[in-house]
Structure 1
Amino acid sequence: ADLVREVIERDGFEDELFDILDAVGKGFSCTEIIWDTSEGQWRPKRLAWRDPRWFVFDQIDGETPLLRDGGQNVPLNPYQWIYHSAKVKSGLPIRGGIARAVAWTFLFKSFTIKDWAIFCEAYGQPLRLGKYDAGASEKDKQILLDAVSNIGVDYAAIVPASMAVEFIKADISGSHGLYKERADWLDQQTSKVVLGQTGTTDAIAGGYAVGKTHDGVREDIEKADGRQIAATLNRDLTRPTVDLNFGPQKKYPRICIGRPEQVDIKSLVDNVTKLVPLGLKVGMSTMRDRIGLPDPAKGEELLVPPKGPAPTDPPDDNPPPSLKPGKAEQTVHSTAGTGNRDAIERSTDAMLADWEPLVSPIVAGLDAEIAAASSVADVKALLANRFAGLDAAALTEMLARSAFAARLAGEADEAL
């Protein structure tokens, strides 16, 4: 495969393909392979186009190409020629080119352009009529004819006194655009034969939409031509190159010619990103081919994802025990594992140590009453009655004492 890739990546290969595609117009083409064996290897040095007049077809089957050689017709040597027959239509190769189909339109258009040029030159010019006497000689007649012919360009002429030139007013009738319309129509017929449509070659009503529709027909013809020439190259170039260098093989590399399939890379990457975590297996080489990236060369610098944040320390295997009412040392404000507690934290712990006796009258038997309630409204009414019996004075006194103690400690710079 690398050898074949090296052959088709030569600078002149595209021009050589153009010569091989001469078969589209003429029905067939024969290209000679010039081999380079300077170092014992077999490498196609160049592919040389040969004039189709060098070749004839077998008189029996009408399909086998023969080379004219010294008055004899000999078969083409194997591994020396690339013979391409463009399948434009069914039938004999010699009659299959599109040049044969457009020959008549080319001929008629040539006549039309010639007549159009004559018409443009004579348009608006009056008819110049020369008159001579009955006894005028042939020389005098020729002088008069030359004068009449040139007077339309030179606007001046001299003739003998015995002769006269009369101008008859031009009376033009009919359509003046006939020549243009006929030439355009013949061009459209040629476009239909070559491209299968006219929307991409002429500005017509419908514009963009018509052009897109017609462009699809052109792409179909392009794909067919690419498929045919690829088959020819695989038969007459790839196989000989491999056989002469490595011997016959069971499988041979294949050349594919055509436009790459248009891939929505964004959608492809998004779908693969979502499906791979779910277990979808996708090859890296396949993804590179789909998005048009080659395999990285050995030692080439590679792109890598950016480094993420540093991993955090794993959680402690012995987390602090959960908070239990009535134990100040286990409040949410405590610092687990440390003994450095400030005055505010110690004051808060002391306040929370006395909260359970204050709320016990409210929560006593509350579970059973909520379970017996029949609606949310009943639960709301039950909670309202419970909170109505809360001794707010005790809580207020506790908060006031704590605030007063904190104020005194702050003023005296003493510990609580």
Structure 2
Amino acid sequence: MSRRKRQRQNAQAPPAPPRRPDTQEIAVAHVTDKYSEYPSNGLTPVKLAEILKEADAGDVLRQMELFEEMEEKDPHLFSQLQTRKNAVTGLDFEIIPFSDDPRDKEIAAFIEEQLGGMEGFEDVENDLLDAIGKGFAVSEIMWGYDEGHVVVTQIKSRHQKRFFWDSLDDSFKVRTQEHSEGLLLPANKFIVHRYKARSGHSSRAGILRVVAWMYLFKNYDLKDWVSFAEVYGLPLRLGKYAPGASEADKVALMQALIQIGADAAGIIPDGTTIDFITTEKTSSTDLYERLARYCDEQISKAILGQTLTSDSGGGSYAQSKTHNDVRHDLTVADCKALASTLRRDLIRPLCIFNFGEDKRIPKIQFDCEEGEDLEQTANILDVLIGKIGLRVPTSYIYKKFSIPEPEADEEVAAPRAAAGPSVLPFKQEPPAPTIALKAGADAGPGTQAHIDRLADAAVRRGAGSFKKAFAPILKIIENAGSLEELRDMMEDEKAVAELYKAMDVTQAEELLQKVMVYANLEGRALEDGRH
């Protein structure tokens, strides 16, 4: 059979049924996973370069062990990475259907139920966000069954040092007890989150790769700083032994020098002397601290994109706000990257196994928008609605201010009037609300401002009724050729009578009656209040 014929048959063949999930644990955690070789011991520029070159060849084991140590040993580095991760894990998320189709909404509801009911999902997010520092992070999905549905029973994080890139074809593999040479990752079994701090291979894309050199220099600096602090302010102790002194005498003299420095006491052999030499330190004593702070600032720039929100250094409010905006951009990017990974490696398999759908996949969206100044938003809406007359849907305002829409017969809050009823006594259609109305003495019942406010509300609520009632008149005005023709038509009693019959003023009259009833009630309430 020719290749073209096979392709034509495959194209005509029905789609394959959904695969059953692999319920076996593949990358079983080793007991040795918690042990490392501690490559940072005796770390030098040459040794660091060797570790990075090994990672370039695909073997990231020593690089991942080094990155793990860097987080453990450097509190500043650890706190910056945690800040970056917590900016995402602390956010709420929602599942958005692929479309408004009922089937898509059903799929989205199932996915939201699965993710929302998963215990410790924040830990799963935190494990995957480890890719920010190390370039990639992998978690294995434990599949199970519940009431006829395929569900996620657990998601287990796997250490990055278990994975590598094959040097022959650059395929991504995992080392297991059964496959020490490496195993290709099965489909729909692992969540692989990659973070690209810069362009290039995933083994070189982590932020800790950029930070490694600053960590090395800071490591040297701290070692010298501690040694300096140990002897700072102490005079140099110089021991002198007599010619022909034995080795035992020399050892005793050295021991005495050490004891004098630590205990301020010691003994020396006869014929030996000890001199105390003081030196004037001309170099700045804060040199080590300044170098350490410089390294911390570079680490903060690499991780958070700025320094003012991570260090206690000075800076204007405007500078801090600008830097916070940069940090928010990183948070948005992290949210989008994580959402894309979860949709591809977690939500898609859930849809395939339960619905047989691999295209109409719902999206996961993190609430990473910055909080708005609601008072300023209210003032803007007040201008747009009250003065410009912009038509704003009430659903938008409810969502913007996180206010649930009232049910049909649910009691709602309303501005309190000085006396009388606080709401209109007739059923209201959902109005386009006027935001930030100022209720004070100048807008109370009986005042012109209050009357104008009620009139405006009546006009808005009865806009449809008035438009329907005056439609015949507007039509005559549009068809009139001139003002003289329109005047002659209005002077014709028969034409006016027919025009009046054509006008449907039933709804407008009903609205006016309701307004009159309300005005009567308010007038009585004011009169009672005076007496």
TM-score (structure 2 length as normaliser)? 0.53
Note closer, same or farther for the CA distance 1:40–1:167 as it changes in structure 2 (3 Å cut).
same
SS of aligned partner of 2:245 = coil
Deviations 1:22-65, CA, capped at 9 Å, x for gaps: 11111111111122325432222232110111111132454x42
Q: Return the offset for 1:156.
A: 0.4
CA RMSD across the alignment: 2.8
SS at match of 1:42: strand
Compared with structure 1, are the counterparts of its residues 281 and 270 closer, same or farther at alpha carbon in structure 2 (3 Å cutoff)?
Answer: closer
Question: In the alignment, which residue of structure 2 is the partner of 1:46?
Answer: 154
Classify the secondary structure of the residue corresponding to 2:186: coil
C-alpha contact (below 8 Å) 1:223/1:258 kept by paired residues:
no
Percent pairwise identity = 37
Q: Does structure 2 conserve the Cα–Cα contact (< 8 Å) formed by 1:125 and 1:170?
A: no
Q: How much does 1:283 deviate?
A: 6.9
Q: State how 1:205-216 maps to structure 2 within 5 Å.
A: 205-216=314-325
Q: Which of residues 410, 423, 432 is equivalent to 1:302?
A: 410
Q: How many residues align?
A: 306
- Structure 2 CA distance for aligned equivalents of residues 169 and 262 of structure 1: 60
Residue 288 of structure 1: how far off its partner (Å): 4.2
CA distance in 1 between counterparts of 2:173 and 2:393 reads 51
Query: Aligned equivalents of 2:245 and 2:409: distance in 1?
Result: 98
- 1:148 and 1:201 map into 2 onto residues whose CA distance is 45
Aligned counterparts of 2:404 and 2:358: Cα–Cα separation in 1: 27
* Alpha-carbon distance between aligned partners in 2 of 1:203 and 1:220, rounded to the nearest angstrom: 22
SS of 1:166 mapped into structure 2: strand
Q: 2:209 aligns with which of 88, 100, 104?
A: 100
Structure number with higher relative contact order (C-alpha < 8 Å, ≥ 6 residues apart): 2
Q: 1:248 offset after TM fit, Å? A: 1.3
Deviates more, 1:178-187 or 1:136-145: 136-145
Secondary structure class of the residue paired with 1:260: coil
> Which residue in 2 is equivalent to 1:404?
none
What's 2:125 paired with?
A: 17
Assess if the C-alpha contact under 8 Å between 1:113 and 1:183 holds in 2. Answer: yes
**Partners of 1:122 and 1:300 in 2: how far apart?**
80
Write the distance in 2 (CA, Å) between the matches of 1:155 and 1:240.
72
Q: Could you say if the C-alpha distance between residues 82 and 249 of structure 1 is closer, same or farther in structure 2, counting changes exceeding 3 Å?
A: closer
1:6-405 → structure 2 map (5 Å cutoff): 6-9=113-116, 10-60=118-168, 62=170, 64-69=171-176, 70-263=179-372, 264=374, 266-267=378-379, 270=382, 274=386, 280=391, 282=393, 284=395, 286-293=396-403, 302-304=410-412, 308=423, 310=425
Shift of 1:103: 0.8
User: Residues of 2 paired with 1:242 and 1:160: CA distance?
Assistant: 86
CA gap of 1:294–1:8, structure 2 versus 1, over 3 A, is farther
Residues 112 and 182, structure 1, Cα contact 8 Å, conserved in 2: yes
**Change in 2 beyond 3 A, CA 1:42/1:139:** farther
**In 2, Cα distance between equivalents of 1:295 and 1:79:** 40
Task: Give the partner amino acid of 1:182.
Answer: L
Q: Is the 8 A contact 1:58 1:66 kept in 2?
A: yes
- Dislocated runs of 4+, deviation >6 Å: none
| Consecutive unaligned residues in structure 2, runs of 5 or more | 1-107, 415-421, 427-531
Give me the TM-score of the superposition, normalised by structure 1: 0.67
Distance 1:275 1:19, change over 3 A: farther
Change (3 A) 1:61 1:292: farther
